[in-house]
Chain A
Amino acid sequence: MQLLGIIISLLGGGVLALIVGRQSAAASRWLSLVSLAVASVFYASLWFDTTDPQATSLWLLHMDWPWIARFGIHLLLVTDGLSLVLIGLTLVLGYVALLSAWHEINHRCGLFYLNFLFTLAGVVGVFSALDLFLFFVFWEVMLVPMFLIIAIWGHEGRRYAATKFFIYTQASSLLMLAAMVGLVLLNLQQTEVWSFSWFTLTQTDTSGSLGMWLMLGFYLAFLVKLPGLPVHNWLPDAHTQAPTPGSILLAGILLKTGAYGLLRFVWPLFPDAASSFAPMAMGLGVFSVLYAAKLAFAQNDLKRLIAYTSISHMGFVSLGIFAWNHLGLQGTVMQMVGHGLSSAGLFAIAGLLQQRLHTRDLDKMGGLWGQMPKLAALSMLFAVAALGLPGLANFIGEFMVLVGVFQVAPWAASMAALGMILAPVYALIIMQKGFFGTAASTQTAGTSNVLDLNTSELLMLGVLVVGLVLLGFWPNLIFTITVAPVEYLMHLGKGG
Chain B
Amino acid sequence: MQQLWLIPCLPLVGFLLLVLGHGRCSRSVARLVGVGSVAMAGLVTLWVALDFYSAGAAQSYQVQLWPWFNAGTLEVSFGLYLDGLSLSMLFVITGVGSLIHWYASGYMWQDPDYQRFFAYMNLFVAAMLTLVLADNLVLLFLGWEGVGLCSFLLIGFWHQDPANGYAARKAFVVTRVGDTAFAIGLFLLFRELGTLDLPTIMALAPEQFVMGANRPTLIAALLLAGAVGKSAQLPLHTWLPDAMAGPTPVSALIHAATMVTAGVYLIARTHEVFLQAPDVLLVVALIGLFTLLISGFTALNQTDIKRVLAYSTMSQIGYMFFALGVGAWNESVFHLMTHALFKALLFMTAGSIILAMHHEQDIRSMGGLRRQLPVPFWCFVIGSACLVALPPTSGFFSKEAILIASWQLPGYGPWLWLGGVLGAFITAMYSFRLLFMVFFGPQKAHPHEPKGWQFHPPLMILGALSLVAGWFVLPTATVLPASPAGHPPTWTIVVAIAMPLLGIGIAYKVYVRHQWQGLRFVQWQKLRQFLFQGWGFDGMYKRLLLTPFTTLAQVNRNDMIDGLPKLLIQLSRFLHGLFSQLQNGQLRFYIATLASAAIIVLALALKVL
Contacts and interface: CB of A to CB of B under 8 A. Distances in A.
B16 to A, nearest CB: 11
A295 B556 contact: yes
A396 B69 contact: yes
A428 B146 contact: no
B176 interface: yes
A297 B166 contact: no
Contacts of A396: 69
A436 B168 CA distance: 11
Nearest to A486: B71
Contact of A390 (B22, B142, B557): B142
Interface string B63-98: 000111111101000100000000000000000000
A295 B553 contact: yes
Contacts of A431: 165
Contacts of A236: 559
Contacts of A373: 22, 116
Contacts of A295: 553, 556-557, 559
A394 to B, nearest CB: 12
Interface residues of A, number: 61
A414 B68 CA distance: 24
A73 interface: no
B279 to A, nearest CB: 21
B149 A436 contact: no
Given A295-B553, A421-B173, A370 B180 contact: no
A228 B371 CA distance: 68
A331 B71 contact: yes
B563 to A, nearest CB: 9
Q: Binding site of A, secondary structure by majority: helix, strand, loop or mixed?
A: helix
B162 A330 contact: no
B523 interface: no
Contacts of A406: 184, 187-188, 190-191
B520 interface: no
A72 interface: no
Contact of B557 (A299, A384, A413): A299
Contact of A420 (B22, B78, B116, B179): B179
Contacts of A435: 159
B600 interface: no
Contacts of A298: 553-554, 556-557
Interface in A428-483: 428-429, 431-432, 435-438, 473-476, 479, 483
A164 interface: yes
A403 B172 contact: no
Contacts of B188: 406, 410
Given A299-B557, A331-B71, A479-B71, A421 B159 contact: no
A149 B67 CA distance: 43
A426 to B, nearest CB: 10
A395 B561 CA distance: 29
A366 B165 CA distance: 12
B466 interface: no
Interface string B1-32: 00000000000000000010010000000000
Given A327-B71, A432-B166, A233 B559 contact: yes
Contacts of B562: 233
A417 B552 contact: no
Given A327-B74, A424-B172, A479-B71, A390 B165 contact: no
B169 interface: yes
A50 interface: no
B128 interface: no
A326 interface: yes
A164 B554 contact: no
Contacts of B74: 327, 400, 403
B69 A325 contact: no
A208 interface: no
A473 B138 CA distance: 12
A436 B180 contact: no
B169 A424 contact: yes
Contacts of A421: 173, 176-177, 180
Contacts of A403: 74, 186-187, 190
A425 B561 contact: no
Contacts of B67: 476
A391 B156 CA distance: 22
Contact of A326 (B72, B159, B553): B72
A219 B180 CA distance: 30
Contacts of B556: 294-295, 298
B561 A390 contact: no
Given A403-B190, A420-B183, A431-B165, A476 B156 contact: no
A261 B149 CA distance: 36
Contacts of A230: 561, 564
Interface centre among B146, B173, B559, by most A CB within 10 Å? B559
Given A233-B559, A233-B561, A425-B173, A475 B68 contact: yes
Interface in A19-60: none
B165 A384 contact: no
Nearest to B69: A475
A389 interface: yes
Interface centre among A377, A384, A400, A421, by most B CB within 10 Å? A421
Contact of B176 (A331, A424, A479, A483): A424
Contact of A389 (B145, B162, B164): B145
Contacts of A127: none
A153 interface: no
A260 interface: no
A293 B559 CA distance: 12
A475 B69 CA distance: 6
Interface in B144-194: 145-146, 149, 152-153, 156, 159-162, 164-166, 168-169, 172-173, 176-177, 179-180, 183-184, 186-188, 190-191
B173 A424 contact: yes
A129 to B, nearest CB: 27
A230 B564 CA distance: 10
Interface of A: 164, 168, 229-230, 232-233, 236, 294-295, 297-299, 325-327, 330-331, 366-367, 369-370, 373-374, 377, 380, 384, 389-391, 395-396, 399-400, 402-404, 406-407, 410, 413-414, 417-418, 420-421, 424-425, 428-429, 431-432, 435-438, 473-476, 479, 483
9 contacts: A294-B549, A326-B72, A370-B159, A373-B116, A374-B22, A410-B188, A420-B176, A436-B164, A476-B67
Given A236-B559, A413-B187, 18 more contacts: A233-B559, A294-B552, A297-B553, A327-B71, A327-B72, A370-B160, A373-B22, A402-B183, A403-B186, A414-B184, A418-B180, A420-B183, A421-B180, A428-B152, A428-B168, A428-B169, A436-B165, A437-B165
Chain A to chain B: the 7 pairs with minimum beta-carbon distance, closest first? A326-B72, A436-B165, A390-B142, A298-B553, A406-B187, A330-B71, A437-B162
